[in-house]
């Protein structure tokens, strides 16, 4: 029951987006379609792998903080910097995805 409710909620939440997407011109062009597909797939891949990487980094940092509570401030700084470097790779993909979405014709 709960699952059905969740699924229907998700479907309903997706409706405005679907309606918006359906407004696009009818003649679906292959290049545009492939560009949108590439943007979505690429960003999903990048975000997922970034999740793994950041999860590892944050986990190890919390581990280190638990072992050495005295060094929390410095570990936190190092963790933030590391997370920023990992994240910036995703942001490169984000920029590429946005550029791909502007593919015309």
> C-beta of 7: minimal distance to other proteins in Å?
13
> C-beta of 95: minimal distance to other proteins in Å?
6
- Looking at the Cβ atoms of 41 and 91, the one nearer to other proteins is 91
Residue 89 structure tokens = 């790779």
- Looking at the Cβ atoms of 20 and 70, the one nearer to other proteins is 20
Residue numbers at the binding site for other proteins (CB under 8 A): 9, 12-13, 16-17, 20, 23, 77, 80-81, 84-85, 87-88, 90-92, 94-95, 98, 101
Helices (H), 1-105: 2-22, 30-67, 72-101
Of 50, 37, 52, 15, nearest in space to 101 by CA? 37
Residue 83 structure tokens = 């997370």
């Amino acid at each position: 029951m709960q699952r059905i409710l969740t699924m229907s909620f998700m479907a309903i939440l997706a409706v405005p987006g679907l309606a918006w997407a359906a407004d696009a011109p009818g003649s679906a062009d292959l290049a545009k379609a492939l560009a949108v597909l590439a943007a979505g797939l690429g960003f999903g891949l990048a975000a997922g792998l970034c999740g793994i990487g950041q999860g590892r980094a944050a986990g190890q940092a919390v581990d280190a903080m638990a072992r050495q509570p005295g060094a929390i401030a410095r570990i936190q700084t190092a963790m933030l910097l590391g997370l920023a470097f990992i994240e910036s790779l995703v942001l490169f993909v984000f920029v590429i995805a946005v550029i791909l979405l502007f593919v015309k014709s």
